[in-house]
């Protein structure tokens, strides 16, 4: 499996847009206690939307050279010179989406999305792989519980061999912070999550190698022409 650049989760405080849709603001908390989080959400009146098992492919469309990345990190290149685009195919078993994601600069707030629904996960992934056969790609699986409360979207995520994490998404940073305080959920805020999956796991003291090998076999099977 050729490795992509993105880690399992997104940002700590970030804003994102989908097409012409308004930007959403989100916060991530890493290492939460799921039982405590569920109790707090229930007491706050949050509605459980659903429980999902996600499978996803990320295919890199534009490839940033090491020279460009090193130049940016050393400060010799402007943030605008760092630009990358990738395609995500994701399914929860019921709904499957195809999303074009674009990152401009290193600030995760400058991330834009264009998304459509598709009918078949494996077929869509194979089509993208045929269109860009030499693209780096990543395959990943995760579990998610989704809640809604006062117009905000709240998810509890579980990635292989990592603790639970929570993401709260809404249109107001102040409202999100007030909700975090109200829920009383403690967790580690992660400020730089735009990094390779393997590096993200290493940061938390987990060897990603065995997981990567398992997913490589699954990815190869899914991408194999029928």
Q: Of 200, 23, 214, nearest to 109 (Cα)?
A: 23
Tens-level pLDDT at each residue, the chain (226 residues)? 555 545 565 434 445 554 444 456 778 899 999 999 999 999 999 999 999 999 999 999 985 544 444 444 444 555 455 678 999 999 999 999 999 988 776 666 667 889 999 999 999 999 999 999 988 899 999 999 999 999 999 999 999 999 999 999 888 888 888 999 999 988 887 654 556 788 889 988 999 999 999 999 999 999 987 6
Q: Of 188, 189, 192, 190, nearest to 73 (Cα)?
A: 192
Distances (CA, A) of 70 to 74, 80, 95, 97: 6, 14, 39, 33
Model pTM score:
0.76
Q: Output the six-digit token pair for 50.
A: 């659903």
Domains and CATH numbers, the chain: 14-223 (2.40.320.10)
Strands 111-118 and 14-18, sheet pairing: parallel
């Amino acid at each position: 499996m050729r490795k992509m650049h993105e880690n399992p989760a997104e940002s700590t405080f970030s804003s994102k847009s989908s097409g012409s849709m308004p930007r959403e603001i989100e916060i991530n908390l890493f290492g939460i206690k799921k039982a405590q989080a569920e109790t707090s959400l229930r007491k706050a009146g949050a509605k459980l939307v659903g429980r999902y098992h996600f499978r996803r492919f990320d295919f890199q469309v534009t490839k940033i050279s090491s020279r460009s990345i090193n130049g940016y990190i050393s400060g010799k290149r402007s943030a605008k010179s760092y630009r990358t685009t990738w395609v995500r195919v994701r399914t929860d078993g019921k709904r499957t989406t195809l999303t074009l994601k674009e990152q401009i600069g290193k600030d995760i707030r400058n991330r834009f999305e264009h998304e459509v629904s598709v009918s078949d996960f494996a077929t869509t992934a194979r089509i993208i792989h045929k269109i860009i056969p030499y693209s780096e790609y990543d395959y990943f699986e995760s579990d998610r519980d989704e809640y809604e409360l006062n117009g905000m979207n709240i998810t509890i995520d579980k990635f292989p061999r990592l603790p639970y994490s929570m993401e709260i998404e809404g249109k107001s940073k102040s409202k999100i912070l007030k909700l975090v305080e109200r829920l009383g959920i403690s967790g580690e805020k992660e400020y730089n999550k735009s990094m390779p999956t393997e590096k993200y796991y290493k940061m938390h003291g987990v060897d990603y190698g065995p997981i990567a090998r398992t997913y490589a076999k699954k990815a190869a099977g899914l991408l194999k022409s029928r």
